[in-house]
């Protein structure tokens, strides 16, 4: 046999081996996407979020971690410092924990979850406020100060930033991290007194009412030029969270609009994330942490205060019914 024939046989053998390996992978982790609406887009659009490497348009602008003005939680070093600080620390976990046995076996073999496996695991969307007021400042605290992460940040102008693929386990909500996706909404927070010193740092009034102000030390960086962040409702809102009364100005209308799109999009990606929140027997959204067993069993959208007794976000001003109603309406629209 001459060299040419041996070379051709070797190439053919390698191609057959590669095809067989691909077939084994497909059989081991089948792509069970029966619902046409849940199929990812083959190409990225400016409104796409990413789950297991697949793109899903959600109808509102999304800045991904690899974009020039994105926030990359895969970095193993600080983001904002001018010094070279190769700290080498992960801000997330490459695999989610407490996986079912069959999924855990595939994860061990391939080092990641397929989209269909992820859909079996992820069943909650956790809503936070960031107490940072802008997404830029939020990422600075998470990445550079606390070595934490969250999948999404929602800025005051309604821009959504995705910092990690949704297959990753972000560190944002303790026991819910294994089975949830999280968002940090840019907002100063909720407090036990109306317009206390903390709130006064971030709000001022003009002839149109309250608007956000950004101290000189704050990392502003909002994408919309000259954006003025005004609460959706003009008055300070109060209500009980964890049995205590808190006061808060509302989120911006741009944030509510974008969040509804994100909720609807996540329900498309992960059908187990129902477009509903935990409710009491009267049908009202619950305002306290769920017992752990109940939390782990809940499929849908929760506040950080539903996860942890020491949290009050997203606070009493958050308009649950508005977000859920709009998200359901968006999800009902044809693709």
Task: Return d(Cα 137, Cα 187) in angstroms, integer.
Answer: 11
The predicted-structure confidence for 224-273, as pLDDT tens digits, reads as follows 999 999 999 999 999 999 999 999 999 999 999 999 999 999 999 999 99
Tell me the pairing of strands 48-51 and 54-57: antiparallel
Per-residue pLDDT at 12 exceeds 80 = no
- At residue 111, the pLDDT reads 84
- At residue 284, the pLDDT reads 98
Exposed/middle/buried for residue 81 (C-beta within 10 Å: 0-12, 13-18, 19+): exposed
- At residue 220, the pLDDT reads 83
For a pLDDT cut of 90, what percent of the chain falls above it? 73
- At residue 243, the pLDDT reads 97
The alpha carbon dihedral of 289, 290, 296, 299 has a sign of negative
Q: Mean pLDDT, to the nearest integer, of 307-330?
A: 98
Q: b or e along 125-146 (b: 16 or more beta carbons within 10 Å of the residue's beta carbon)?
A: bbbbbbbbbbbbbbbbebbbee
3-state secondary structure of 92: strand
- At residue 29, the pLDDT reads 34
Q: Mean pLDDT, to the nearest integer, of 138-149?
A: 95
Closest CA to 37 of 64, 60, 57: 57
H/E stretch holding 276: none
- At residue 167, the pLDDT reads 94
3-state secondary structure of 154: strand
Q: Mean pLDDT, to the nearest integer, of 53-73?
A: 96
Q: Mean pLDDT, to the nearest integer, of 79-106?
A: 84
Task: Return d(Cα 79, Cα 81) in angstroms, integer.
Answer: 6
3-state secondary structure of 198: helix
Roughly what angle, to the nearest 10 degrees, separates helices 3-28 and 101-110?
150
Per-residue pLDDT at 214 exceeds 70 = yes
Residue 226 phi, psi (nearest 5)? 55, 30
Task: Please say whether the beta carbons of 69 and 55 come within 8 A.
Answer: no
- At residue 35, the pLDDT reads 45
- At residue 37, the pLDDT reads 61
* From 20-29, 205-214, 258-267, 306-315, the region with the lowest mean pLDDT: 20-29
Mean model confidence pLDDT for the chain = 88
Q: Where are the domains of the chain?
A: 1-30, 41-332
- At residue 6, the pLDDT reads 45
Q: What pLDDT band is residue 31 in, cutting at 50, 70 and 90?
A: very low
| Topology at the third CATH level for domain 41-332 | Lysozyme-like (3.40.80)
Q: Mean pLDDT, to the nearest integer, of 269-279?
A: 98
Measure Cα distances from 292 to 17, 271, 274, 281, 300 in Å: 47, 22, 19, 19, 15
* From 42-51, 210-219, 271-280, 326-335, the region with the lowest mean pLDDT: 210-219
């Amino acid at each position: 046999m001459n060299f040419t024939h041996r070379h051709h046989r070797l190439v053919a053998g390698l191609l057959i081996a590669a095809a067989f390996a691909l077939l084994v992978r497909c059989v081991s982790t089948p792509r069970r996407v029966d619902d046409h609406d849940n199929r990812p887009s083959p190409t990225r659009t400016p409104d796409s979020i990413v789950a297991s490497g697949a793109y899903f348009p959600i109808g509102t602008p999304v800045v991904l971690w690899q974009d020039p003005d994105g926030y990359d939680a895969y970095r193993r070093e600080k983001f904002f410092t001018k010094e070279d600080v190769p700290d080498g620390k992960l801000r997330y976990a490459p695999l989610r924990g407490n996986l079912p046995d069959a999924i855990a076996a595939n994860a061990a073999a391939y080092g990641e979850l397929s989209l269909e496996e992820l859909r079996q695991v992820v069943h909650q969307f956790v809503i936070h406020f960031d107490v940072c007021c802008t997404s830029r400042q939020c990422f600075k605290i998470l990445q550079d100060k606390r070595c934490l992460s969250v999948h999404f940040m929602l800025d005051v102008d309604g821009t959504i930033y995705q910092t990690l693929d949704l297959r990753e386990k972000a560190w944002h909500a303790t026991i819910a991290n294994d089975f949830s996706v999280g968002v940090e909404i840019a907002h100063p927070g909720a407090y036990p007194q109306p317009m206390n010193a903390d709130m006064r740092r971030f709000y001022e009034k003009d002839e149109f009412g309250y608007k956000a102000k950004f101290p000189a030390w704050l990392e502003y960086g909002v994408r919309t030029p000259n954006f003025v962040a005004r609460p959706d409702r003009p008055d300070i809102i109060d209500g009980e969270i964890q049995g205590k009364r808190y006061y808060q100005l509302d989120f911006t209308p741009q944030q509510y609009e974008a969040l509804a799109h994100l909720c609807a999009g996540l329900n498309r990606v992960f059908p187990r994330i129902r477009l509903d929140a935990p409710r009491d027997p009267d049908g009202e959204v619950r305002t306290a942490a769920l017992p752990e067993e109940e939390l782990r069993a809940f499929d849908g959208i929760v506040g950080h205060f539903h996860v942890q007794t020491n949290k009050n976000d997203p606070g009493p001003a958050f308009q649950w019914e508005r977000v859920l109603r709009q998200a359901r309406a968006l999800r009902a629209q044809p693709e």
